[in-house]
């Protein structure tokens, strides 16, 4: 009975129920449209008429919407003509620009609440530091200023960083920091999965909880679904460790289910923080990795820049739980060896502009010699695609490293769909032959880099909560550059990409669907 109760209350069961209901309704409507249902089911016929009227209304809305992206507008209009019955319903359920008064929109209310919380204190902005960076390198200062003015975070000189080119090394350093915690521990991940790594972390957390350390764990409900048991969560809570899901999966259709918390943040005692591409799961330390060698990276920051990571976590926690909390006073560590400038940056689906994408475009636009990208997924909007092409055709050495062994074959087809266009425009492409590359890195001219959670795709640019650290003239950038050099040596450079007829058909379908998100 307990097992049955556990299954019925699980997020996976709720998702299965949603999909079954959708499938049944779709089959009924398709059968009726094809004349295979008995005529007396007039209510189904009325539903069909209503759906067609809805599609017409949505078509008019899309035509008259002045601020709508061109590709987004055209693709939805094509879909309406292809599917006059279901097109309008799909738009209402899936589109990110829907015609409802703001006060009616749940997503708007959540956006309003999020924006009210996320405005950082104006006094925190380090205008002096930006002025110093302006004197050193005006190009870097422009990128730093964009982040500060649009994201509300600060540029700090009183910070040092250490880059990790292996997930194993990053997690060894994180666990070491957890073991040294005296006041509080903040953990926020898209994926938390039970296994070898979790056991190491859990043992330390339970020990620290007994010592009176405040511990809070925030995980994305969709990303962690089925990977962290209710039993484990209850045991953590029982031992006075606060645990909460972000954007819980619910038993109803809701576009906000798309808004996933993809951030990776660990903060210990307010003086040391971690972010990057790594999640809390075994594959990130190459234990039971299903796709060859799993390559990922992370960065540790010490000093003032950690303040913004704390504020982001605090807000995410309050947004997810609806409960404010205060951290205990922690003794500040003065063992800092500052190097260059650091800026913690964030992005969310509630931003008015795609901030994560624009950080990339700002770095790319200011690059003089080279621009390197490491990403597991590539799904480019037109602005990013054209910026990469313009830079490469202007003499900038633009390189993109992607996995050699994909984790999702369908998603990898999206990545490959850009190969031919990029190669024809002097963008160099490398595939990491030892296995799956999950690192999310940007590097420009050896003096600015980002390490974080942002993939180069629509989901990270428009739908996810993301974060990362921008590095300006820091010692750690040399390690990022060294890592890219090693990646190029271990990867196969793609010099040509021949598309079969079937692949061209898939590419056309993919390019049509992507802007609809």
For the segment 308-367, what is each residue's pLDDT rounded down to a tens digit?
999 899 989 988 888 888 888 887 777 788 899 999 999 888 777 888 999 999 999 999
Return the bridge partners of 189, or none.
219
Give the separation between CA 357 and CA 373, rounded to whole angstroms.
Answer: 13
- Residue with the bigger pLDDT between 71 and 269: it is 269
Helix, strand or coil, per DSSP, at residue 250: coil
**What's residue 93's pLDDT?**
66
**What Rg value do the Cα atoms of the chain yield, rounded?**
24
Give the separation between CA 232 and CA 193, rounded to whole angstroms.
Answer: 11
Helix, strand or coil, per DSSP, at residue 155: coil
- Residue with the bigger pLDDT between 37 and 462: it is 462
**Residue 510 pLDDT exceeds 60:** yes
Helix, strand or coil, per DSSP, at residue 66: coil
Q: Dump pLDDT digits (tens) for 424-468.
A: 999 999 999 999 999 999 999 999 999 999 999 988 988 899 999
Helix, strand or coil, per DSSP, at residue 442: strand
**What's residue 107's pLDDT?**
46
Q: Are strands 397-403 and 428-432 parallel, antiparallel or unpaired?
A: parallel
**What's residue 424's pLDDT?**
95
Give the separation between CA 247 and CA 208, rounded to whole angstroms.
Answer: 28
How deeply is 294 buried, as exposed, middle or buried, from its count of CB atoms within 10 A (0-12, 13-18, 19+)?
buried
**What's residue 408's pLDDT?**
86
Q: Dump pLDDT digits (tens) for 460-494.
A: 988 899 999 999 999 999 999 999 999 999 999 99
Residue 43's H or E segment, with its range, is helix 42-64
Q: How many CB atoms lie within 10 A of CB 383?
A: 14
Instruction: Give the chain's mean pLDDT.
Output: 83
Contact 409, 373 (CB under 8 A): no
How deeply is 204 buried, as exposed, middle or buried, from its count of CB atoms within 10 A (0-12, 13-18, 19+)?
buried
Contact 412, 469 (CB under 8 A): no
CB contact set of 505 (below 8 Å; sequence gap of 6+): none
**Residue 109 pLDDT exceeds 50:** no
Contact 435, 295 (CB under 8 A): yes
- Same CATH fold, 355-516 and 163-337? yes
Any idea which fold 355-516 has?
Answer: Endonuclease; Chain A (3.30.870)
- Residue with the bigger pLDDT between 65 and 488: it is 488
Confidence class for position 216, pLDDT limits 50, 70, 90: very high
Strands (DSSP E) contained in 375-432 are: 397-403, 428-432
**What's residue 439's pLDDT?**
97
**What's residue 247's pLDDT?**
86
Please give the average per-residue pLDDT across 132-156, as a whole number: 79
**What's residue 331's pLDDT?**
77
**Residue 252 pLDDT exceeds 50:** yes
**Residue 112 pLDDT exceeds 60:** no
Give the separation between CA 319 and CA 322, rounded to whole angstroms.
Answer: 6
Residues in the chain: 517
Cα dihedral: 301, 306, 308, 314 (round 10): 120
Please give the average per-residue pLDDT across 281-306, as a whole number: 95
Give the separation between CA 407 and CA 422, rounded to whole angstroms.
Answer: 22
Contact 370, 398 (CB under 8 A): yes
- Residue with the bigger pLDDT between 479 and 499: it is 479
Model pTM? Answer: 0.82
Confidence class for position 89, pLDDT limits 50, 70, 90: confident
How deeply is 148 buried, as exposed, middle or buried, from its count of CB atoms within 10 A (0-12, 13-18, 19+)?
buried
CATH of 163-337, one of 3.90.330.10, 3.40.50.2000, 3.40.50.1220, 3.30.870.10: 3.30.870.10
**What's residue 105's pLDDT?**
46
Q: Dump pLDDT digits (tens) for 7-19.
A: 555 555 655 665 5
Contact 172, 284 (CB under 8 A): no
| Secondary structure percentages of the chain, helix, strand, coil, to 5 | 50, 20, 30
Confidence class for position 25, pLDDT limits 50, 70, 90: low
DSSP letters along 164-178, please?
Answer: ESSHHHHHHHHHHHH
Per-domain residue ranges for the chain?
Answer: 2-112, 163-337, 355-516
Quick one: residue 192, left, alpha or beta (phi over 0 = left, psi -120 to 50 = alpha)? beta
**Residue 123 pLDDT exceeds 70:** no
């Amino acid at each position: 009975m307990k097992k049955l109760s556990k299954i019925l209350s699980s997020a996976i069961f709720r998702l299965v129920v949603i999909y079954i209901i959708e499938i049944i309704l779709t089959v009924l409507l398709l059968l009726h449209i094809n004349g295979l249902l008995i005529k007396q089911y007039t209510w189904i016929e009325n539903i069909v008429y209503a759906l067609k009227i809805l599609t017409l209304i949505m078509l008019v809305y899309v035509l008259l919407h002045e601020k709508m992206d061109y590709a987004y507008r055209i693709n939805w209009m094509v879909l309406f003509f292809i599917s006059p019955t279901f097109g309008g319903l799909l738009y209402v359920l899936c589109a990110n620009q829907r015609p409802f008064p703001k006060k009616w929109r749940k997503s708007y209310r959540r956006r309003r609440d999020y924006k009210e919380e996320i405005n950082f204190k104006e006094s925190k902005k380090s205008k002096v530091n930006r002025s110093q960076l302006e004197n050193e390198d005006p190009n870097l200062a422009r990128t730093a200023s964009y982040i500060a003015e649009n994201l509300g975070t600060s540029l700090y000189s009183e910070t040092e960083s250490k880059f990790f080119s292996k997930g194993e090394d990053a997690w060894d350093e994180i666990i070491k920091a957890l073991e040294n915690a005296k006041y509080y521990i903040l953990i926020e991940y898209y994926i938390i999965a039970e296994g070898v790594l979790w056991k190491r972390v859990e043992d330390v957390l339970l020990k620290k909880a007994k010592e009176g350390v405040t511990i809070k764990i925030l995980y994305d409900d969709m990303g962690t679904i089925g990977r962290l048991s209710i039993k484990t969560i209850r045991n953590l809570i029982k031992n006075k460790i606060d645990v909460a899901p972000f954007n819980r999966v619910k038993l109803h259709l809701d576009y906000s289910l798309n808004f996933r918390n993809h951030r990776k943040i660990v903060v210990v005692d307010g003086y040391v923080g971690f972010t990057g591409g790594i999640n809390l799961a075994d594959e990130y330390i190459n234990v039971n990795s299903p796709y060859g060698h799993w390559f990922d990276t992370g960065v540790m920051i010490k000093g003032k820049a950690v303040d913004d990571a704390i504020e982001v976590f605090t807000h995410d926690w309050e947004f997810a739980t609806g409960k404010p909390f205060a951290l205990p006073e922690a003794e500040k560590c003065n063992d800092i060896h500052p190097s260059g400038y650091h800026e913690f940056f964030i992005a969310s689906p509630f931003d008015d502009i795609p901030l994560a994408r624009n950080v990339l475009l700002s770095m790319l636009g200011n690059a003089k010699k080279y621009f390197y990208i490491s990403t597991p997924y590539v799904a480019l909007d037109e602005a990013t695609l054209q910026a990469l092409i313009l830079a490469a055709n202007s003499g900038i050495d633009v390189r993109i490293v992607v996995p050699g062994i994909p984790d999702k074959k369908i998603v990898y087809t999206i990545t490959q769909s850009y190969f031919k266009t990029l190669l024809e425009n002097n963008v160099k492409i490398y595939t990491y032959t030892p296995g799956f590359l999950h690192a999310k890195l940007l590097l420009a001219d050896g003096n600015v880099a980002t390490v974080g959670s942002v993939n180069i795709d629509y989901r990270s640019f428009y739908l996810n909560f993301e974060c990362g650290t921008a590095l300006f003239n820091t010692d750690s950038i040399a390690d990022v550059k060294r890592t890219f050099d090693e990646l190029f040596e271990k990867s196969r450079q793609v010099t040509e990409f021949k598309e079969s007829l079937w692949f061209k058909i898939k590419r056309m379908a993919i390019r049509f669907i992507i802007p609809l998100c």
